[in-house]
Structure formats: C-alpha cells, structure tokens
Amino acid sequence: MRRSLRWTLAVVVLGGGALLASRVARPAKPAPAEPYVVPTTLSPVARAVAARHAGQVVLLDVWATWCDNCLPGLADLAALQQSYGPRGLRVVAISVDKGLDSAAVQRWAADHGITVELAYDPSGASTGMLGRPGVPVALLLDRQGRVRETRFGHAPRESDMSWHAPWMQEKLETLLAEPAPAGTVSRRGA
C-alpha cells in the first residue's frame, strides 16, 4: 500500500509540475544580438588608418616586403578594393618593414603592382594586433571601427577561407549596407 501511495504521489507531483510548466508564460523572443566584435587592440598606425577612413568598411592587411605569402594576398585584396571600393570598402596595406623607409616600401609596392593604399608601421606593432606576431594578418573593420573579421596568413582565392569566398562576400555586403555613424562620410558611390 505504501508503495502504491508513493507512486500515486509521484504521478500527481510530476503531472502537476508538467501542467504548471506548460502554463508558465514563455519569455519574449530575445532581441537580435549585437554584432560580434573580435577582441583586439589596434596598433597606433591601424587606429590612425581607421580614423582617416571613419564611416567606411576598412580592411587592414599587415604585410612586409620579405613575406613571400603576402604578395598574392595583396593582389586579391586589390581586386576586392576594385569591386567594393565604390560602395565604401577601403583596403589599406600596412607595411611592417623595419629596415626600409616609407619611400622604399612605396617603390617596392609600385614595382610589384600593388595598387591598394599603403601605410607604414616601422615599429612592427601592427603584427601583434591579434595576440601573436606574424604576417600577413588582416582585420576587417565595420563602419563603426569595430573589428568584425580577422585572418592569419593568406588563403588562396578558391579557398573557403578567402576574402572572395561566398560567405565572406555576403559578410562584406552586410557590412557595406550598414549605415555610417553620424558625423562620418560613408563614401558610398565615391
């Protein structure tokens, strides 16, 4: 008898709990999440570039003349600049060549057909923006100046990790469609 009483009580308690749970108001659907911002600290040169292009989507590529893997990446980024530049994408290649001055880097870039905007960081601080030194390193900043995507190394154009991959093209389209902050110029169509 005790056993059947326990079973009866268990069924009543569990059944009542299930009934009560079904009547509890469901929470409202959560608001869309804020965009994920990659935790990083921009170097002084990267901050200056971002400030100069405030209101634009900025792709920073940290490279060096001695980096064999950097040159093909710069060519791919030049193609992105040509495609998306009129809509507000600005590709800036930050050289971290310590033994060369800015003019020598400019000449090297011209000799190798690099057509994106160049910046110069002789301190090399830009190589460590993602927590470990190395080149190439790339950061994609939204119109608010927040880092939204990062890359170590160069992925070939046909790779799923390339800046030309369909998912990345979709991300670029999304970022370019976002409004520029008040007081900045988005340079869409410029």
* Residue 20: per-residue pLDDT: 45
Closest CA relative to residue 40, chosen from 182, 187, 146, 123:
146
* Residue 123: per-residue pLDDT: 87
Q: Mean pLDDT for each 10-residue chunk of the chain (190 residues)?
A: 55 49 49 50 87 94 91 90 94 92 92 93 84 85 90 82 87 93 61
List for the chain the helix, strand, coil content (%; round to 5): 40, 15, 45
Give pLDDT tens digits for 179-190: 988 877 655 444
Does a structural domain hold residue 135? yes
CA distance 27 to 118: 51
* Residue 180: per-residue pLDDT: 85
Give pLDDT tens digits for 85-115: 999 999 999 999 988 888 999 999 999 999 9
User: Encoding tokens for residue 165?
Assistant: 């991959």
Residue 83 sits in a domain of what CATH number? Answer: 3.40.30.10
Q: In which domain, by residue range, is 153 found?
A: 44-177
DSSP collapsed to 3 states, 123-142: CCHHHHCCCCCCCCEEEEEC
Instruction: Quote the number of domains for the chain.
Output: 1
